Structure 1
């Protein structure tokens, strides 16, 4: 329960603009964000930039009336940062740079798109937690690119083909859960 109180305090500090709480967020979360960015071809400046964008995105989300973090504050925040960094890295690869031309990508649009992606991720995570334990295990191995032969051994399936069939069925159940949620249609329309 102490962790929940701490998480609530950190979130409320961000909403209220409380310097002491925001410094605590930096102290607690920035090393994790920095480590991720640096290990994924980013720089110290990139890490600082992503930290700022993550704070802004979380603040925007937290001001929604029904907002609630269901995981830990750290985990939620780092997921936002990872999503923002993946998006930034993807944009950088596709962007042609010219020193004499101003960057036409607007910061507000980037934050909005990152928030949209975060909402999709949260819906996916929520629906993943609602399917059976066995399906969660199978799909977690699948999403982490564990070879079928290893999944069969770890979960006691007879063959790789059985694993393929189980993955197909579990993915179908997950898709059905996601598609039947009214938030999916709202996110799809954006």
Structure 2
């Protein structure tokens, strides 16, 4: 099934296909969250929130996913979890105070992150195949030595220079887009 089918299922609340989304994607999300200071319950919450936010966004605006649905969902979940970790890092614990998190604010932040991610993915797609390959390895947190084994470059120094040039090109592409200024202003 393609991304359009999954998006339609979320929009129409098709439980059969939504169950397939869970079966296909939850394991990788759970592993990511468990490896990053979370629990199974956290993974379930984040996964549910991600699906809900995508569904809410679909109702607000019609959008398409230009990458795989699985990758898009993983990115949304990863961003939600990182935001949750950052929120907890900055939170002062006081048992007598009950914090209220605005659902609307949380959805707005998620929407903004999705828009930023879409811009990033779109501009990444405009890079050369070589740059895409190098940056995907770099963003997957592989060391320069590991990248060297997966490419035909002669040294780690050459890879560092290539990563720098590709990141610079990607940054220029992103910053030259009018949507970047709008997203940065929010």
Distance 1:144 1:49, change over 3 A: closer
Q: Offset at 1:80?
A: 1.0
Q: Secondary structure at the match of 2:100?
A: coil
Distance 1:53 1:188, change over 3 A: same
Task: Name the counterpart of 2:110.
Answer: 114
Distance 2:141 2:35 in 1: 20
Q: Which of 61-70 and 153-162 deviates more?
A: 153-162
Task: Name the counterpart of 2:90.
Answer: 94
Distance 1:115 1:41, change over 3 A: same
Alignment RMSD:
2.3
Q: Which of 145-154 and 8-17 deviates more?
A: 145-154
Q: Offset at 1:150?
A: 4.8
Distance 1:142 1:73 in 2: 22
Distance 2:24 2:154 in 1: 45
Task: Work out which of the residue numbers 36, 41, 59 in structure 1 matches 2:37.
Answer: 41
Matched, 1:128 2:109: no
Task: Name the counterpart of 1:11.
Answer: 7
Distance 1:21 1:139, change over 3 A: closer
Distance 1:10 1:171, change over 3 A: closer
Task: Name the counterpart of 1:178.
Answer: 174
Distance 2:152 2:20 in 1: 45
Distance 1:161 1:30, change over 3 A: closer
Structure 1 unaligned regions, length at least 5: none
Structure 2 unaligned regions, length at least 5: none
Q: Offset at 1:159?
A: 4.1
Number of aligned residue pairs: 186
Q: With the length of structure 1 as denominator, give the TM-score of the two structures.
A: 0.83
- Contact 1:10-1:24 within 8 A present in 2 as well: no
Task: Work out which of the residue numbers 35, 55, 60 in structure 2 matches 1:59.
Answer: 55
Distance 1:181 1:73, change over 3 A: same
Q: Which of 76-85 and 18-27 deviates more?
A: 18-27
